[in-house]
Amino acid sequence: MRYDRILIRYGEMSTKGKNRNRFVVRLKRNIQKKLKAFPNIKIEYMRDRMYILLNGEPHEEIMERLQTVFGIQSFSLAMKCENDIEQIKTTALAAVQQVDGKTFKVSAKRIDKQFPIGSNELNHTLGSHILRNTNHLTVNVHEPDIDVRVEVRKDGTYVTCHDIPGAGGLPVGTSGKAMLMLSGGIDSPVAGYLAMKRGLEIEAVHFFSPPFTSERAKQKVVDLAKKLTRFGGKIRLHIVPFTDIQQTIHQQVPDGYSLISSRRMMLKITDMLRKKYNGLAIVTGESLGQVASQTLESMFVINDVTTTPVLRPLVSMDKTEIIAIAKKIDTLDISILPYEDCCTIFTPSAPKTRPKREKVVHYESFIDLEPLLQAAVANTETIIIDEEFTAEKEFEQLF
Amino acid sequence: MIYLDNSATTKPFPEVMDSFVAVATNYFGNPSSLHELGRKAERLLMQAREQVATLLSVKPNEIIFTSGGTEANNLAIKGVAFQYQKRGKHIITTAIEHPSVIEPCRQLEELGFEVTYLPVNAHGLVEVETLKQALRDDTILVSIMHVNNEVGAIQPIEQIGKLLQRYPKAMFHVDHVQGVTKVPLDMKNAHVDLCTMSAHKFHSLRGAGILYVRNGVRLSPLLAGGGQEWQIRSGTENVAAIVAMAKALRLSMEAYERHSERLWELKERWFEALRNIDGIEIHTPVKYSAPHIIHFSLDGLKSEVFVHELAKQQIFVSTTSACSSKKRAPSKTLLAMGVEPKRAESSIRISLSWENTLEEIPVVVRAMKEAIQKLQGVER
């Protein structure tokens, strides 16, 4: 007898009342997409848990992929049998024998009260059955290596031995859509990851200023977006040509204010794209006080161009915490590649750390930026990226 | 032609040659150059690294490309020795390693390091207990090959790795040149810190090799310069050979997996056929040996003459390992296994690839018998 299914426990979404069904259906869809390489699996779902029936597909690979799906609290390999004590004994024994460990305990739960044997008696019966039929195991009820969980439910009895923590959070897409400003640095991919963890679907926006920023910088952003697709499925990446705007600002706005003004235009364009693609928020990787544009004064002046919610998941984090997450989601190595991006090239020698809103508005009033903004949006290139995305189709035959 | 010298080098896949030519022709840019051609070359390098890492179930930043197996072994051994010499100066390796492991160790001995060369048993295997006794507080490196290049013995890498978990100061290097694609090795399960592979042993070209360096292990570079390969191996990357290698690794892994059963049967049949030839003694252990290497000796006949005799009929075998055979010394692996020097001087290695067939066996056996007869006539 082998493990034939994976049991999935929902996270906080099981507290979401009437919305729950929507959450569960979305989670199922996200899992299905994630596991589309395994055509034989079947997903069964109920109000408080989900089962993936393996039908012969390899559980190791499936479990590895499940760890990147938001909305899963934990999951375990499981076996199912009929509500019959002899069958339950056999199943529990088989389940224990297929995992490593020296000590165990049985935690039985009789949810189906029609079943004649109570939880305590089940613990005892199954525990002695396992002890009698194995020779390397002893009981330890406090800190067992293997916790044999037996649940007698209406539709059958489930046995699991080992819980694996899931990614937590909410299923991507259940909280709506937001635009992520993706620069190529360390912070913005982490912000995107955290946004997706709260159930947001994201589209990424990147500002590209050729020839001041290179193809490599753009490539880097594509690579970063691709890393994020592991958690969020398909991601639309909008590459906005920003050279004209940046040069215009650079020529017209005094040095100390040019950075702030560029930031304002970026936010404006992102907001225009948000409207175009029906998003409801903008996500940035800003954290308070890191650099000149991230003082509260700067944030205030930049944010002034829109009333759309700007979500800043990193606002309270230290750089070390951000780096730790970047490592975990495997974006750090890409982020630290030393290519010029839109943030670094036009950086003035002494940007204002306490900019005034009136001043920047005044400077901007001398230039007609609106047509430039419209043109930037119109000429934006959109790339749809998924986990298998390769930018270089021409390389395919080479590998 | 019957080619039975695949442990010396292998025939490149045609698809691998295509990739090499395409990359060398169309993407000849230097990966460090800023322009488009440079970017594409860098991209190819990155993709090759990702593919190799995926195939080996490790991370891309744990893959260092080198010029081949010899460089990778040198980099691993000297790189660890120089980096960690303050922790200790004791190195453990075995008596049956490839010269590209033994010789760097000898160089290090001259620089004041102490090296223990572990013996092997009659089957050519290192015993974990022997290693345990040799380990000391100042041991900084244990270098043990996975599959022996001469007799094909498979060393208990996983058990050794487990043992070394208790010696955190000692790095574990594995020369996996003969094993890769033929005898699987899981770096993580075996707790390997460094692992060497060479492209031309798995149907790619010479000029590229792989050193796996586990995250957290630091190496003192052998080649200083432009800082390529994370400052560990300077020198303009050989993109064409590296891309070809990544493709060959994939194709080889697929081929050997597909032909695994047949290859084991092939070896079995070779064993049977050789046992039926008078005077031949097989040295490759029946258990714990790789599917593609068969080593035997001819009773007193000079192996070199035998190789030439077979070559006349377009049958290519080898005496000891190709790298040692020019020195005309008897196989050191056989000597370490306790084989008489006289016998060891008449030893022959057959090494197979997935392309070899059962039909070749009777043809080669007939040629061997003829050669033996002829040579016995001459030498008496």
pLDDT of the residue at A101: 87
Query: Hey, is A256 helix, strand or coil?
Result: helix
Q: Is B323 a catalytic residue?
A: yes
pLDDT of the residue at A343: 52
Contacts of A391 in chain B (CB under 8 A): 43
Select from B309, B339, B334, B310 the least CA-distant residue to B320: B334
Q: Look at residue B24 and tell me whether its pLDDT is greater than 60.
A: yes
Q: Look at residue B70 and tell me whether its pLDDT is greater than 80.
A: yes
pLDDT of the residue at B36: 87
Query: Hey, is A332 helix, strand or coil?
Result: helix
Q: Encoding tokens for residue A374?
A: 């419209």
pLDDT of the residue at A216: 85
CA distance A333 to B279: 60
Instruction: Answer whether B36 sits within 8 Å of A215, measured CB to CB.
Output: yes
Instruction: Note the helical H segments in chain A.
Output: 20-34, 59-66, 85-97, 119-133, 187-197, 215-232, 243-252, 255-276, 296-303, 319-328, 332-335, 342-345, 357-364, 370-378
Burial class (CB in 10 A: 0-12, 13-18, 19+), B57: exposed
Chain B closest-CA separation from residue A399 CA (Å): 5
In chain B, where are the structural domains located?
2-8+258-379, 14-250
Nearest-CA residue of chain A relative to B61?
A333
Chain B closest-CA separation from residue A192 CA (Å): 23
Q: Is A366 on the interface with B (CB under 8 A)?
A: no
Per the model's pLDDT, the better-predicted residue between A137 and B377 turns out to be A137
pLDDT of the residue at B331: 87
Q: How many CB atoms lie within 10 A of CB A62?
A: 20
pLDDT-flagged residues of chain A (< 50):
none
pLDDT of the residue at B154: 97
In degrees and rounded to multiples of 5, residue B196 shows phi and psi of -100, 135
Beta carbons of B294 and B266 less than 8 angstroms apart: no
Q: How many CB atoms lie within 10 A of CB A85?
A: 17
Query: What is the tally of helices (H) and strands (E) in chain B?
Result: 12, 12
Instruction: Answer whether A398 sits within 8 Å of B44, measured CB to CB.
Output: yes
Pick the CATH number of A177-398 from 3.40.50.880, 3.40.640.10, 3.40.50.620, 3.90.550.10: 3.40.50.620
Q: Encoding tokens for residue A103?
A: 């000590």
Q: Give the highest mean pLDDT range of A10-14, A153-157, B17-21, B296-300.
A: B17-21
According to CATH, what is the number of the domain A5-168?
3.30.2130.30
Strand order, beta sheet including B280-282: B280-282, B293-298, B347-351
CA distance A272 to A369: 14
Instruction: Answer whether A219 sits within 8 Å of B47, measured CB to CB.
Output: no
Instruction: Answer whether A399 sits within 8 Å of B250, measured CB to CB.
Output: yes
According to CATH, what is the number of the domain B14-250?
3.40.640.10
Instruction: Answer whether A399 sits within 8 Å of B61, measured CB to CB.
Output: no
The partner residue sitting opposite B43, judged by closest CB among A333, A392, A397, is A392
ipTM: 0.81
Q: Encoding tokens for residue A72?
A: 């899963």
**Given CA atoms A134, A139, A140, A143 in this order, what sign does their dihedral have?**
positive
CA distance B61 to B215: 8
What is this structure's pTM? 0.81
The partner residue sitting opposite B247, judged by closest CB among A390, A392, A399, is A399
Chain A closest-CA separation from residue B43 CA (Å): 8
pLDDT of the residue at A371: 96
Q: Look at residue B325 and tell me whether its pLDDT is greater than 70.
A: no
Q: What is the amino acid identity at position B219?
A: L
CA A251 to chain CA mean position, Å:
40
pLDDT of the residue at B326: 57
Contacts of B36 in chain A (CB under 8 A): 215
CA distance A81 to A86: 10
pLDDT tens by residue, A305-345? 999 999 999 998 999 999 999 999 999 989 988 776 555 55
pLDDT of the residue at A15: 64
User: Which superfamily does B2-8+258-379 belong to?
Assistant: Aspartate Aminotransferase, domain 1 (3.90.1150.10)
Chain A closest-CA separation from residue B246 CA (Å): 7
CA distance B104 to B100: 7
CA distance A218 to B373: 70
Beta carbons of A8 and A75 less than 8 angstroms apart: yes
Beta carbons of B70 and B103 less than 8 angstroms apart: no
pLDDT of the residue at A350: 72
Count Cβ neighbours within 10 Å for each residue of A289-325 and write b for 16 or more, e otherwise. eeebbbbebbbebbbebbebebbbbbeebeeeebbeb
- Among residues B223, B323, B335, B367, which one is catalytic? B323
| HEC per residue, B129-165 | HHHHHHCCCCEEEEECCCECCCCCEECCHHHHHHHHC
pLDDT interval class at B198 (50, 70, 90): very high
**Residue carrying structure tokens 């994630």:** A34
Count Cβ neighbours within 10 Å for each residue of B263-274 and write b for 16 or more, e otherwise. beebbeebeebb
Chain A closest-CA separation from residue B67 CA (Å): 19
In chain A, where are the structural domains located?
5-168, 177-398
Give the list of residues 6+ apart from residue B125 with CB closer than 8 angstroms, or none. B153, B154, B155, B156, B285, B288
Dihedral in degrees, nearest 10, Cα atoms B322, B24, B16, B221: 50
Mean pLDDT over the full length of chain B: 94
In this chain, the answer to whether the domains covering A5-168 and A177-398 adopt an identical fold is: no
CA distance A366 to A108: 75
Q: Look at residue B323 and tell me whether its pLDDT is greater than 60.
A: no
The DSSP 8-state label assigned to residue B35 in this structure reads: S
pLDDT of the residue at B251: 97
Q: Look at residue B160 and tell me whether its pLDDT is greater than 80.
A: yes
Beta carbons of B343 and B335 less than 8 angstroms apart: no
β-strands B315-316, B2-3 pairing: parallel
Q: Which of residues 322-351 of A touch B (CB under 8 A)?
A: 333
Contacts of A395 in chain B (CB under 8 A): 43-44, 47
Instruction: Answer whether A398 sits within 8 Å of B247, measured CB to CB.
Output: yes
pLDDT tens by residue, B108-138? 999 999 999 999 999 999 999 999 999 999 9
Instruction: Answer whether A392 sits within 8 Å of B47, measured CB to CB.
Output: yes
pLDDT tens by residue, B199-242? 999 999 999 999 999 999 999 999 999 999 999 999 999 999 99
Q: Is B14 on the interface with A (CB under 8 A)?
A: no
The DSSP 8-state label assigned to residue A395 in this structure reads: G
Interface test with A, best of B16, B47, B239 (most A CBs within 10 A): B47
Q: How far is CA A102 from CA A95, A136, A150, B159, B198, in A?
A: 14, 6, 19, 20, 41
Nearest-CA residue of chain A relative to B18?
A398
pLDDT of the residue at B379: 59
| HEC per residue, A269-327 | HHHHHHHHCCCCEEECCCCCCCCHHHCHHHHHHHHCCCCCCEECCCCCCCHHHHHHHHH
Q: Is A100 on the interface with B (CB under 8 A)?
A: no
